[in-house]
Chain A
Amino acid sequence: QKEVEQDPGPLSVPEGAIVSLNCTYSNSAFQYFMWYRQYSRKGPELLMYTYSSGNKEDGRFTAQVDKSSKYISLFIRDSQPSDSATYLCAMSGETSGSRLTFGEGTQLTVNP
């Protein structure tokens, strides 16, 4: 069983929709939670970074972490065609630092 589970999609939504992306995990030692965005044929780029439980908002993006349920989410409001990409969740523990464990990634397409 994978430590981090993420629905690979693909997910297709109309422009302006609210998008919800999710990951579940099994390792209770994970403390740092991240979302990376990866455009086709490019390297991942950090989108959101959260430590422990709670919510974090950055413009149209909101990251939520529920450690009691081992569940993290990324919400995208007013989605745009430029948001079309693969979104990867990633997490690490206190001692592993940047040794990230990634989800498989969810492929998102926002249609004009």
Chain B
Amino acid sequence: NAGVTQTPKFQVLKTGQSMTLQCAQDMNHEYMSWYRQDPGMGLRLIHYSVGAGITDQGEVPNGYNVSRSTTEDFPLRLLSAAPSQTSVYFCASSFTVSEKLFFGSGTQLSVL
């Protein structure tokens, strides 16, 4: 049982480039979410999904796009990378909205 899998683990981008962070879970969880973790700021919610075809914005959604075509996958797209998006990104999932979250191991992103 792999749990929540994130790829890549590390990524360096140039300003203006786009990329997709992948997240997959094999626990049949309905709820999935993306957080970013920055020093002094803790974890902040970017986007979340309560099921396939349903997504919504979190606290810091600007510059990011998501879609949920399947229960298993919840990719995060950076449309035009900016240095302010340098961060560690975590994907998380739970069986329902009110259940406890399981986190992936993170993607460390640097935007130059």
Contact = CB atoms under 8 A, between A and B. Distances in A.
Contacts, number: 60
Contacts of B53: none
Interface string B26-58: 000001010100001111110010000000001
Nearest to B99: A98
Contact of A41 (B44, B97, B106): B106
Given A4-B42, A102-B44, 17 more contacts: A36-B103, A42-B106, A43-B103, A43-B104, A43-B106, A44-B43, A44-B90, A90-B43, A97-B31, A98-B33, A98-B48, A98-B97, A99-B45, A99-B58, A100-B43, A104-B42, A105-B42
B4 A43 contact: yes
Residues of A in contact with B, size category: 20 to 34
Contacts of B92: 43, 98
B92 to A, nearest CB: 8
A49 B101 CA distance: 11
Given A99-B45, A99-B58, A104-B40, A44 B33 contact: no
A32 B97 CA distance: 12
